[in-house]
Copies of this chain bind each other. A is one copy, B any other.
Amino acid sequence: MSAIGPSTRRPTRQRSAVVESLGAVADFVSAQDLHARMRAGGNAIGLATVYRTLAALAADGVLDVLRTADGEAVYRRCSTHHHHHLVCEVCGRAVEIEVPFLEDWAETVGGEHGFWNVRHTVEVVGTCTNCQTGKP
């Protein structure tokens, strides 16, 4: 939650493998999914390690995290600057978007209500062009 620095975090084979594997995926993947992909690609790594590593990377701000409708956490390597996502509900394709005015506004409205350390999440979801076809 707070900005606790990664006081001690060692580079390991698994850690870089996770980062690299993430780079090979265009959209958001779950820990389970990534683990399966890595195993399939001959990359030996434990499931628990994938979970721990993804959580650590997300805590370090290297990854973006969001939750699917059924509560599953999904991760994606992202550009470093603060941004948000436009996600297709059908195929999961995601586009990075920005909401300039919101950044200040969130801070302001939080302050107005006496809140500190204000953060925000914004997700815009819909159906992308590719997924329009078979819809009544």
Contact = CB atoms under 8 A, between A and B. Distances in A.
Contacts of A73: 71
Interface string A91-107: 00001010101100110
Q: Which range contains the number of A residues in contact with the other chain?
A: 35 or more
A81 interface: no
B120 A122 contact: yes
Contacts of A101: 101
Contacts of A42: none
Contacts of A124: 106, 109-110, 115, 118-120
A127 interface: yes
B115 A86 contact: yes
A48 interface: no
Given A1-B89, A102-B99, A102-B102, A113 B125 contact: no
Contacts of A126: 110, 115-119
A52 to B, nearest CB: 15
Contacts of A127: 115-117
